[in-house]
Amino acid sequence: MHWLKRLRVAHRLWLAFALIYIFGAVVAITGIVSLIEVRRMTDRLHHHDMAGALAAERAQSAIASLGRAQLQLVAGTSGEERDAANSAIGTHLAKLDAAIETLRTAAGEAAAAPLAKARQEAGDVLQRYIALVKAQPFDPLLFDSSVSVEGHFVSAALDALATIAHQRKAAQEAGANLTLAAAARQQSIAQAIMIGLLAASLCAAAILAWLCARHMARALGGELHEASAIANHIAAGNLTQGVALHPRDTHSVMYFLAQMRRCLADIVRRIRHSSDALLTASEEIASGNRDLASRTERQAAALHQASASMAVLADGVRELASNAETVADISGNALTVAHDGHAVVRQMADTMTRVHAQSRDIVEIVAKIEGIAFQTNLLALNAAVEAARAGAHGNGFAVVANEVRALSQRSATAAKDIQRVIHASTARIADGARLAQEAHTAMERITSTVQSSHGLALEMRATCQAQADRVGTLSALVTDMHGTTQQNAALVETVAHAAALLHRQAGDLAGDVARFRLAEQAAVA
């Protein structure tokens, strides 16, 4: 039972009530299960046994009606009477089929199968008998002997059917009796179990109540009003009141109240000594805080002046960095223009070189034209000689030869003029190519010089930017130090207020501790 001692009082009470509820629930569940079983047996009695017995009884009634309808069929003296008897036989057979189907539903196929088979045989015999009787005259004295034989077969079939129905009814009634007996037995068992569980739950409740009361008395260690009185003394600050404990009591409420009174008295003693020391320390803190406030104000003023100087220096460095940025941009633009001019001059030199080469080709072509003109002149002379030899017949050919000779001479003259002009142009083109090459060399020197200037400008811009960043960082640090100093000044003021508040609270604490009366104070009094 050691685990029960470790539980709280509320948990013990919950455990006791939970066990009582569990016993009650077991009793209720047992009753419910018993009622469910009785209900199941009642349903079986109603839907299986009694319904089957009623179906067998209706089958017996239908079989008896069939016997009477057979007699009416034989005794009929007209066609209407025989038709009415035949209709009655069909009606009673339908009732018998309905009773058999009800029996099959209630008791199962195995219970209804013998009766269904006997009904099928009796129905066949009845159909033959009806057909035989309808073929007979209306006077029974004139019936054929086979009618009597078939009537005997019908009676035998109906008797067999009635016997089977009676047996099934008896079986269903016997099953109903067994079901009733089982229900009564189940009810008796449930009553016995519920009575036993109820008695056990009452005994368990009494034992749990006794155990809870015993454990609560041990847990309190005394009367509840005594514990309340001691708690009131402690709450009033009277720590001189002793606590009476039972022997070997180390876990009760009274024991822990005594321990609390003793520990609280020790705490009050230490707090009294601490409050006196706290008053002295708070006065020293206030004095030192005033000196710190004065030094912090002087440091804040010096940092303010340094922050203003750094701001001016930072503005100058930023302006220098901006100028260096502008110089770098201008040198970059000049470098771009120099590169463009260098490219254009290089293209012009290449073009002059190609033109000079093409002028040499033109000279060669003009020389070929002069050669062609010279050969044409020779051919024209030969043609004129041949025309002179031909006499009068070659006059027309001589005229043409003279014209061709004149044209060749003019072509040679024009070719010489073109060659003279080409030679002059070639000389000028050579001079232009030479000048273009010199301009290309000069642009290369200009581009190299501008590129060097641009590199120096970029280095100057980077240096100025780095200086600006360092000055900005230094200015931010000075500003941050100034802000920190301002915060320290505000913190000093806050600490001064806190020191004053601490001094005041130390006085209040000493006054609060003075409310408690200790045993040594009571002895002095």
Taking the C-alpha atoms of residue 386 and residue 401, their distance in angstroms, rounded to an integer, is 10
Confidence band for 102, pLDDT divided at 50, 70 and 90:
confident
Taking the C-alpha atoms of residue 349 and residue 148, their distance in angstroms, rounded to an integer, is 151
Confidence band for 354, pLDDT divided at 50, 70 and 90:
confident
Taking the C-alpha atoms of residue 65 and residue 75, their distance in angstroms, rounded to an integer, is 15
Taking the C-alpha atoms of residue 48 and residue 42, their distance in angstroms, rounded to an integer, is 10
Report yes or no: 370 and 415 within 8 Å, Cβ to Cβ: yes
Distance of CA 198 to the CA centre of its chain: 53
Taking the C-alpha atoms of residue 45 and residue 55, their distance in angstroms, rounded to an integer, is 14
The ranges assigned to domains in the chain are 2-220, 262-524
Smallest CA-to-CA distance from 179 within 366, 51, 31 is with 51
Residue 139: is its pLDDT beyond 70? no
Taking the C-alpha atoms of residue 496 and residue 334, their distance in angstroms, rounded to an integer, is 66
Residue 210: is its pLDDT beyond 70? yes
Instruction: Give the pLDDT confidence score for residue 317 in this predicted structure.
Output: 65
Residue 3: is its pLDDT beyond 60? no
Smallest CA-to-CA distance from 258 within 241, 238, 237 is with 241
Question: Residues with Cβ < 8 Å from 68, sequence gap 6 or more?
Answer: none
pLDDT of 488-510, one tens digit each? 777 767 877 777 777 777 677 66
Residue 238: helix, strand or coil by DSSP? strand
* Distance (Å) of CA 357 to CA 53, 439, 440: 137, 20, 19
Q: Which of 249-256's residues contact partners 24+ apart within 8 Å by CB, and which partners?
A: 249/221, 251/5, 251/218, 251/219, 252/218, 252/219, 252/220, 252/221, 252/222, 253/219, 253/220, 253/221, 253/222, 253/227, 254/220, 254/221, 254/222, 254/226, 254/227, 254/230, 255/221
Taking the C-alpha atoms of residue 500 and residue 99, their distance in angstroms, rounded to an integer, is 108
Q: Which two tokens stand for residue 98?
A: 């309905």
Burial 240-273 (b: 16+ CB within 10 A, else e): beebeeeeeeeebbbbebbeebeeebeebeebbe
Length of the chain: 525
CATH 1.10.287.950 assigned to domain 262-524? The reply is yes
Residue 95: is its pLDDT beyond 80? yes
Residue 517: helix, strand or coil by DSSP? strand
Confidence band for 341, pLDDT divided at 50, 70 and 90:
low
How many other C-beta atoms are found inside a 10 Å radius of the C-beta of residue 484? 13
Confidence band for 5, pLDDT divided at 50, 70 and 90:
low
Instruction: Give the pLDDT confidence score for residue 109 in this predicted structure.
Output: 80
Backbone torsions φ then ψ of 360, nearest 5 degrees: -65, -35
Instruction: Give the pLDDT confidence score for residue 44 in this predicted structure.
Output: 64
Residue 189: is its pLDDT beyond 80? yes
Beta-bridged to residue 517, according to DSSP, are: 238
Residue 120: is its pLDDT beyond 80? yes
Beta-bridged to residue 238, according to DSSP, are: 517
Instruction: Give the pLDDT confidence score for residue 229 in this predicted structure.
Output: 73
- The secondary structure of 163-188 as a DSSP string is HHHHHHHHHHHHHHHHHHHHHHHHHH
Lowest-confidence pick of 1-10, 83-92, 107-116, 383-392: 1-10
144 phi-psi bin (left φ>0, alpha ψ -120 to 50, beta other): beta
Taking the C-alpha atoms of residue 199 and residue 274, their distance in angstroms, rounded to an integer, is 65
Report yes or no: 204 and 59 within 8 Å, Cβ to Cβ: no
Instruction: Give the pLDDT confidence score for residue 374 in this predicted structure.
Output: 77
pLDDT of 223-254, one tens digit each? 666 777 777 777 766 766 667 676 777 666 67
Smallest CA-to-CA distance from 381 within 406, 412, 347, 364 is with 406
pLDDT of 437-490, one tens digit each? 777 787 777 777 767 777 776 777 777 677 767 767 777 776 777 677 777 777
Instruction: Give the pLDDT confidence score for residue 125 in this predicted structure.
Output: 82
Q: Which two tokens stand for residue 125?
A: 């015999």
Residue 494: helix, strand or coil by DSSP? helix
How many other C-beta atoms are found inside a 10 Å radius of the C-beta of residue 473? 11
Q: Which two tokens stand for residue 117?
A: 């088979």
Taking the C-alpha atoms of residue 281 and residue 286, their distance in angstroms, rounded to an integer, is 9
* Distance (Å) of CA 200 to CA 31, 188, 363: 16, 18, 142
Look up residue 26 and give its amino acid: V
Smallest CA-to-CA distance from 331 within 442, 469, 461 is with 461
Residue 221: is its pLDDT beyond 70? no
In the chain the first and final C-alpha atoms are separated, in Å, by: 49
Confidence band for 158, pLDDT divided at 50, 70 and 90:
confident
Smallest CA-to-CA distance from 439 within 373, 361, 523, 348 is with 348
Residue 1: is its pLDDT beyond 70? no
Confidence band for 520, pLDDT divided at 50, 70 and 90:
low
Taking the C-alpha atoms of residue 366 and residue 371, their distance in angstroms, rounded to an integer, is 9
Report yes or no: 243 and 520 within 8 Å, Cβ to Cβ: no
* Distance (Å) of CA 265 to CA 226, 251, 506: 20, 21, 19
Secondary structure letter of residue 394 according to DSSP? G
Residue 522: is its pLDDT beyond 60? no
Distance of CA 207 to the CA centre of its chain: 54
